[in-house]
Amino acid sequence: MRVRSLLMHRAAKPVVFVLCLLPFAWLFYAAAANQLGANPAEALERALGDWTLRFLCLVLAVTPLRVITATPQLARFRRMLGLFVYFYGVLHLLAYAWFDMGLDLGDILRDIPKRPFILVGTLALVLLTLLAATSFNRAIRWLGAARWRALHRCVYAVAGLAILHFFWMRAGKNNFAEVAVYAAILALLLGWRVWHRWRRSSPSAVAAAAVARRMAP
């Protein structure tokens, strides 16, 4: 009960917001203080990509944690975490556009289809843009709940594209250890969501829900 009351406190969202900004603040400081190593541009670009994946794992973990721990209050942070996935994803793309391509739009547009890992990363960000743009209550009312839920299942595609982007990026150096960790985490989280949806829609679950509704006062 203590945890639930803390999650519902009016200061909870501002605290989570500040915590989500800490990686950005650290990277900004490290870049300004020249603490990103011999190749700071590459280090910053990759760190932003890593944080995009980490926040994607966090937002996908909200529903399993909410259900397993019977803590519905966690749901109030899902939208914010999802927007931070988009925030760090945009910064990751901007770092590539700035450090690798000198913000030359023509070069960027020619480079994207040439390199598969950049192409799938860009596709993931396009899907994230759709999810971020429709994450607000007005969009839910405009689309309708069923269409909104169908659209936001694109998060599965985003997760797949993100892992593929990471895999191809590390393939050049034959370094797949981190890729395997993120792939396992995302597979576990997405697998749980699929299993949970199947369990809820199974005939026994539907019948139990009908019985519960009939017995309700």
| Residue boundaries of the structural domains of the chain | 2-215
Q: Are 7 and 74 in contact, with CB atoms under 8 Å apart? A: yes
- pLDDT > 70: percent of the chain: 92
Q: What is the mean pLDDT of the chain?
A: 86
Task: With CA atoms as reference, report the closest residue to 4 among 58, 79, 76.
Answer: 76
Q: Are 168 and 195 in contact, with CB atoms under 8 Å apart? A: no
- What pLDDT shows up at residue 202? 62
- What pLDDT shows up at residue 174? 74
Q: Which amino acid is at 50?
A: D
DSSP state of 36: S
103-109: Cβ within 8 A, 24+ apart: none
pLDDT (mean) for 163-172:
86
Confidence check: pLDDT of 215 > 80: no
Pull the structure tokens for residue 193: 């969501």
Confidence check: pLDDT of 207 > 80: no
Cα 196 from Cα 119, distance rounded (Å): 32
Confidence check: pLDDT of 60 > 50: yes
- What pLDDT shows up at residue 97? 92
Q: pLDDT confidence of 1, banded at 50, 70, 90?
A: low
Count of beta carbons in the 10 Å neighbourhood of residue 167:
16
**Against a cut of 0.75, is the pTM above it?**
yes
Q: Which amino acid is at 168?
A: W
Question: Of 86-95, 150-159, 170-179, where does the model show the most confidence?
Answer: 86-95
pLDDT tens for residues 69-128?
888 889 899 999 999 999 999 999 999 999 888 888 899 999 988 888 899 999 999 999
Q: pLDDT confidence of 206, banded at 50, 70, 90?
A: very low
